[in-house]
Amino acid sequence: MKFEDEGYIINIKKHGESSAILSVLTRKNGKVVGFVKNALSKKNLSTFQLGNKVKIEAYARVDENMLSLKVELISPDTVNFLTNSQKLETLASLCCLSNICMPEQMPIDMLYQYLEKFFIDINQENWLSNYAYFEFYLLDFLGISLDLSECSATGTTNNLYYVSPKTGKAVCKEAGDPYQNRLFLYPHFIVNKNFFPSMEELRNLLKMTEFFLNKNFFQTHGLKFPPSRANLLSNLGL
């Protein structure tokens, strides 16, 4: 097996004195995990940082073996996070969720577009909205798609205002008002492809994605919800 790809480093696990098992979320092959010799030597430390964009050459003598990786730095994106604690916390959450939730070598298609947009626009004012889009479409990738097309109670497509935590379906304002304390707010900015939502809209969306990720993925698989994501809203001041 042999292939080339590019993507972002999402996990680095020390192996031996200076080598590492590296996880890279790539454009064509999804999550790629492989062995990198001397990755953690002083010479290479600047390359092997979470969030850096790299080119990889992956190879294995037989398909059952772990891949060996040759890695070349494309852009040192990590530096865009180091001076901002909120961005650094968000990067940690993104890397952890990606590493745990994604199977190896399964193309992630549209999800990669939102991942890449998060890194490219990290110095823009609306950087957090790109992370919110990533989490929303991570749900879709994991088969936890939310049905936001019509009200589950009345069938109307008008005045959609809530999302049910039980069904993941939209609820109109009239039907949902009596139960508003039990419902999430409808993510209009996601549906309308608005990349400049208010902080309140982002907070509501991230509360909802946290709930469905925890309930429908982590609890289903008997996994602990990662602290880097569990603490994200408080770390962001949301």
Residue range 1-79 in CATH 1.20.1250.20: no
pLDDT of residue 153 exceeding 80, the answer is yes
At residue 8, the pLDDT reads: 98
DSSP string, 109-167: THHHHHHHHHHHTTTSTTHHHHHHHHHHHHHHHTT---B-SS-TTT---SSEEEE-TTT
**pTM of this structure:** 0.93
Cα→Cα distances 55→8, 71, 81, 109, 197, Å: 9, 6, 20, 18, 33
Strands in 170-172's sheet, in edge-to-edge order, are: 170-172, 160-163, 184-185
Name the residue ranges covered by the structural domains of the chain: 1-79, 81-148+187-238
How far is residue 126 CA from its own chain's centroid?
17
- pLDDT value at residue 145: 82
| 14-18, 176-180, 181-185: the lowest-pLDDT one | 14-18
- Asked whether residue 37 carries a pLDDT value surpassing 90, the answer given is yes
Could you read off the pLDDT of 46-56 as tens digits, one per residue?
999 999 999 99
